[in-house]
Every structure is written in C-alpha cells, then in structure tokens.
Amino acid sequence: MSEPVTAGIPATGPAGQPIVRCAIANSGEPWKLNIDALVLSVGSGLGGLAEAVRAEFPEAAWSAVYQADISPDRPYTLNLDTTDQVTSLRVAIVATPHEGSKHGPASVGAARIATGYAIRSAMHAGVVALGLPLLGAGIDH
C-alpha cells in the first residue's frame, strides 16, 4: 500500500513521526472497510466476528489458529487468502482477552494487554489501517 493520505494531510508529521488517526465504524462486514488488517478475538473458540471473517475467507489457514499458543501477549498473525476477493483486508491478528491463554478467564487487564500486543503485531506485519474491535466485549460478566 502507498503512504496513506487523508484530505491532503500526510501520514507523518514535520519531524517524520507517524500521525495516528482514529475513526469509528459500525459494520457487520468490516472486511469491506478500507483496512488491511482486522483484530479478531478468540477464547476456547472463535468469537462471533472471527467466525464471520472465517466464513468470508475460508481459504486462509484457520486450522493454525486452533493450534497456535495464543495468549494476551502472544497474538497470532493470520494471512488471509484474498486472491479471489475485492478487499484491502489481508491480515487477521488473532488475540485473546483471556488471562494466561485462550482457555483462561477473561479480564479487563488481559484485554488491555492483548490490545497493545495486537497493535504491535499489526505494526510488525506492515499494517497501515487496522480494524480494532473492543476485545472481550461479547463476554457476559
């Protein structure tokens, strides 16, 4: 992807530091948004959004997600098979808001840690536009 520009404003400031922009979107189909990565939540199974993305990108290596040792500080980066798709989405960052591992209890602290590490993983994958839902929002308390 080329360097993002919004309304003629470059993505870096005068000293070359990155400028972070945030936007809120309410979408039942976030793979249609102008993002190249999406954070997905996992616990003992895939969360609702992750299941929807799996249905949209069935050719991706979803079995690796089930085998991965995912914890709040160790998300899994899944390359989506988008060769037959008209979408900018190319990566799913699979994270867990569950303490210790995807099988532990969910907590606000684990969600905070998972969010930070998901963002770092996206940066390492060269992501420019990241879709980041509220991790753990679907858990009953």
CATH number, domain 31-131, options 3.40.220.10, 3.30.2310.20, 3.40.50.970, 3.40.50.300: 3.40.220.10
* pLDDT given at position 11: 60
Chain centroid to CA 123: 11
14-58 confidence digits (pLDDT tens): 677 666 777 888 888 999 898 999 999 998 888 889 999 999 999
**Above 80 in pLDDT, residue 3?**
no
Report which of residues 21 and 99 the model is more confident about.
Answer: 99
